[in-house]
Amino acid sequence: MKKELLMASALVTTLGATSVAQAVTATMAGSLKIGAEFESADDSTTDANTVKDQSNFNISLSETTDGGTTISSSFEIVDESTVEADDDNAIKLTFTDGSALELLNAGSAAGTHAVAVPGASGEQGVGGTSTNNAPTGVDFAAGSTVLGVEWHSAADFLADGLKMSASISTDDGSAKSATARVESAWGLGATYVTSAGDTALTIGGGISGSDTAKTGTQMTADKEGFNIGVSAVTGNLTVGVGFGDGDSIKDEGAGVQTQIDGSVTVAGIKYVSGDITLALGVTSGEAKDSTTVGTAGTTDDSHDAASASVTYAVASGVSAVIGYTTVDQNNEGQSTTDGGSAWYVGATMSF
């Protein structure tokens, strides 16, 4: 009996040591946002005052093989009234030459290279009509399925300052449902970084295409388009603009699918002065939409928004935010009662 206990103890000790030796490197980060939003909609709609209490927790995992290849992934837990785990996590292999390959949940290369345009901070927002399909993000036409891969070049690929990506994904079975979904997709994207005097310029964009199916039947309307943008940084000042154009499909419920032919322009400016960050952003999107079994739309949906914010760094990792947004909505060429404005006053604690 004593010998058996000694053997068991040795086995547990060995397994424990092995587990520690083989553990990947984990880092964590997250934030807590809490504040009050004061939303003033159209005169025909009751104003709303709500408390925004949001938190997220991110774990990044990484380890390097003896051959120098880094294997990494991450996951995130987000609490925005309901707790949700982010399951769109690719396995990323980064090779010794700086190139990388993402496997599963890889996304679209067209979206990867969409330029980050400065925008206002805060959690303020004004809801729009569910049938207003004007896009608000430049990569709205980029599509992919979870069964996808995405390749990323190393820095200075073919030319100094150039990086490129390519992605492809295939049928994951979701296109067999009663809702129109991406069946297969491809994407290409590139980012070029250069300088002009004291200004650092970033130019990026991508193109994408996909086949869309419903209950296994190919649809005549697909999801495809392009985006392009530029960002300029001079000292504490950042200015950016982006444009996206393409076709998309939205599920309106009750078996109704809508095809969308849209475009959107976003622009923003950010200035940092000591502990204070000032930001301003505008969005202008429009689209013609129609059911996939009907005729093409002839009147525009539109979404025009302007936002501004002031962020003050109170302490390390702690910032106070005041934000404002105003939105104008039009559906099928007619002004709606879903526009309005909103204020947000809150704080963010990050680690």
Question: In whole angstroms, what is the distance from residue 242 CA to residue 159 CA?
Answer: 23
| Low-confidence residues in the chain, pLDDT < 70 | 1-22, 42-45, 80-88, 128-129, 252-255, 291-297, 336-337
User: Would you state the structure tokens that stand for residue 265, as one six-digit string?
Assistant: 């322009």
- Compute CA 318 distance to the chain's CA centroid, rounded to the nearest angstrom: 24
CB count in 10 Å sphere of residue 160: 10
Q: Does residue 15 form part of some domain?
A: no
Q: Does residue 6 form part of some domain?
A: no
Question: In whole angstroms, what is the distance from residue 270 CA to residue 280 CA?
Answer: 7
Q: Does residue 7 form part of some domain?
A: no
- Strands 70-80 vs 82-86: parallel, antiparallel or unpaired: antiparallel
Q: Does residue 335 form part of some domain?
A: yes
Determine the structural domain holding residue 342 and report its residue range: 31-350
Q: Is the four-CA dihedral 42, 45, 50, 54 of positive or negative sign?
A: negative
In this structure, what CATH number is given to the domain that contains residue 161? 2.40.160.10
Question: In whole angstroms, what is the distance from residue 191 CA to residue 230 CA?
Answer: 10
- How confident is the model over 287-307, as pLDDT tens digits? 988 765 555 567 788 999 999
Q: Does residue 164 form part of some domain?
A: yes
- How confident is the model over 218-245, as pLDDT tens digits? 777 778 999 999 999 999 999 999 999 9
Q: Does residue 25 form part of some domain?
A: no
Q: Does residue 16 form part of some domain?
A: no
Q: Does residue 255 form part of some domain?
A: yes
Q: What is the number of alpha carbons within 13 Å of residue 176 lying toward its C-beta?
A: 3
- Compute CA 30 distance to the chain's CA centroid, rounded to the nearest angstrom: 17
> Residues near 328 by Cβ (< 8 Å), separated by ≥ 6?
302, 303, 304, 305, 335, 339
The total domain count for the chain is 1
